[in-house]
Structure 1
Amino acid sequence: MNRGSKTTILRLIEGEDAGRIPVAPPFQGFWALGIEGIPIIESIRKPKLAANVQLEVSSQCGFDAMEASWDWLSPVEMFGCKVRVPERGEIVTRTRLVTGPGSLQNLRIPDPHDDYRALSAAESAERIVSAIGKEKFLYSTLCSPFTLIGEIRGVEAFLLDLFMQPDFAQDMLDMATEVVQEYCRFICKTGIDGVLLCDPTASGSLVNPTQFQEYSSPYMKMCMDVVRQEGCYPMAHICGDTSELIGLIADMGTSIFSFDSSMDLRTIDDEVKNRMTLLGNVDPKKMLLQSANGAFAESMRCIKRAEKARLILGLGDDLVNGTPVENVVTMRRASDRFSAKYHTEHS
């Protein structure tokens, strides 16, 4: 079923007709560990176990593309922030270290080669690449510079800095960009195909297009340039309504943009659709709460709304912990249903 998975994704990225709608989560890492009952700390200590869990769940769900590593905020702890490692789900930042311009000089600059979480992520990625890298499009998830500063400074304080202390904001972003670039270089060495840079703090509900163009996109683009230099494809995910930002997102050279379930594909300009592949945007809450038939119907609706877009079918955000595997599988079923209809009409 998935023999042509990687080829299908690559054809879409190149703007070619793939003949079917491929499927990607886009964020299955933490969810899969929860499905198999593996505590987060155990997955970090045992990267082989973590990789095997992802391989098993991916096989069940029929993904064409998937995360090979998913611990996207590990630089936060390496800066020195205290974090909470839950039994399930993402690791949460508990303390903020940047209190003002003077505190920057006291920060410990993260190095992925010394980061126990990044080292574990790299080993998991290498194992997944070795197992299915020839068949599937594999990517690693990392935070963008803008979101990284939101974690170590505090989102509210950082957004105020954009107005009150813009030079300080840019100093922080320069520092964060160097860190994220180094993490990109590090994880690209595992043999993955892409790096998905996540920037939830740059959501359209938090920043306006002018702020995005000045404080988020230039720094994310510098990271994307490194990803491309390392031979991988740059990807992006931004939460919320990005309808006013999507042209700027394409301008960064984004190969694949993972977009929120609040977005309507029909409102995206055709010119933008032709410049990058779109990944989304089934509602995660509906995927969690509806029956399998309801989840299938939601997936079909998403495909129909895509029209001429180069679409990878997936969720509009994280797979919520506890989402039934049988519901996630319906995205594959919807893709297969569309493919059968497509080939019938074009035969």
Structure 2
Amino acid sequence: MTLLEYVNSENRRFFLADMGTNGLELVGYTAYEVYEDPKKQLELAKKMDEVFESDFSYSLCDGAICSEALGIKLLKPKYDFPSVIEHPIKTLEDVRKLEVPDPYKTGRMPVNLESLRLIANNIDKPLYVSIQGPFTLAIQIAGATHLLKSIITNREYVEALLDFTKETIKAYTRAVNDVGAKYIQIAEPGAITLSPADFEKYVVPRNKEILDNLDSWKGMHICGDTTELLDLMIKCNIDGISLDQILDYKVVAPKIPDDIVLIGNLDPIELVGRGTREEIKKATVQLKKDMEPYDNYLCALGCNCLNDTPVENLQEAISTART
């Protein structure tokens, strides 16, 4: 069954809830208590499935796991995602010293794979996993300003760094696929900084190679105004395309091929994070009406929801979309 067939397998809209750390409060654990314990990860996934009834199962998003496996220093809040606090890979020589992490041996990668395997085997819904793309991983370990300047001043370094991050993501996504993830989405928020020409040169071929290596459903998400990048994102061999809430889906939807699922794009911040249930219901109903002509539509948020999003707000968005 394809992703498109799945979202049309019942006479209603499906919902993909790309949640933040919302489940931690429900189970009373900190982020790393979950990250480091597959049983707690499964407990969290079951609780989220119980409280936020959706059409996919979820792990606690782990967007810095590849950077951590490479030995990059992280800030590790108790109730938020970890984030990179240093960017040490500055030269071609630095890149040449790096080794592609083994997903089954390096750092927390094996632990996370076991967590994903448990979720896939114990919750009867397709497991959704979002993984940072190679350009975004390059920004994490080299720094955005340095990487973007190097596109002008040192392209040999940029190519070598991106080839390394591609191989790192390729190995990890393959392992995530093999333990049971059904829908793997590449998140490339860092790529919004690129011109279409540089996006086509640096992002498209590497992400396509990564996604060509998978036999799961495959998607891509980029935050911001991706109007000029839509056709290039589609070139990456994707089954689903997820876009920011700032885009007008009445304008976007006709541009998306019928066999690619358009995912989004309720505002996760001002609407679902801070709005009232009545406002959420009204906006969700309107979005469903706007997308009524399109069978290739999957209702979702425009990005991760806020960590302190009220439970009832997220429940309202999900239930209204799925009704």
TM-score by length of 1: 0.87
Amino acid in structure 2 at the alignment position of 1:75 = C
Amino acid in structure 2 at the alignment position of 1:323 = T
1:315 equivalent to 2:301? Answer yes
Q: Distance in 1 between matches of 2:268 and 2:99?
A: 36
Query: What is the 5 A alignment of 1:164-313?
Result: 164-203=153-192, 206-227=193-214, 231-268=215-252, 270-285=254-269, 286-309=271-294, 310-313=296-299
Distance 1:35 1:17, change over 3 A: closer
Distance 1:111 1:29, change over 3 A: farther
Asked if 1 retains the 8 angstrom alpha-carbon contact of 2:135 and 2:162, the reply is yes
Q: Secondary structure at the match of 1:140?
A: strand
Q: Secondary structure at the match of 1:280?
A: strand
Distance 1:72 1:91, change over 3 A: same
- Counterpart pick for 2:32 among 41, 64, 68: 41
Identity of aligned residues (%): 23
Amino acid in structure 2 at the alignment position of 1:87 = K
1:138-184 per-residue CA deviation (whole Å, 9 max, x = no partner) reads 12221111001000000111111112212221111111111111001
Distance 1:316 1:137, change over 3 A: same
1:240-283 per-residue CA deviation (whole Å, 9 max, x = no partner) reads 11111111111212111121111111112525241410111110
Asked if 2 retains the 8 angstrom alpha-carbon contact of 1:70 and 1:121, the reply is no
Q: Which runs of 5+ in 2 are unaligned?
A: none
Asked if 2 retains the 8 angstrom alpha-carbon contact of 1:34 and 1:322, the reply is no
Deviates more, 1:213-222 or 1:46-55: 46-55
Q: Which runs of 5+ in 1 are unaligned?
A: 1-6, 338-347
Query: What is the 5 A alignment of 1:6-25?
Result: 9-11=3-5, 19-25=11-17
1:50-89 per-residue CA deviation (whole Å, 9 max, x = no partner) reads 2211211222221102434621221101212111111112
Q: Which residue of 2 aligns with 1:159?
A: 148
Asked if 1 retains the 8 angstrom alpha-carbon contact of 2:166 and 2:206, the reply is yes
- The count of corresponding residues between Structure 1 and Structure 2 is 321
Q: Distance in 2 between matches of 1:261 and 1:80?
A: 34
Distance 1:300 1:111, change over 3 A: same
Amino acid in structure 2 at the alignment position of 1:21 = R
Asked if 2 retains the 8 angstrom alpha-carbon contact of 1:25 and 1:66, the reply is no
Q: Secondary structure at the match of 1:236?
A: strand
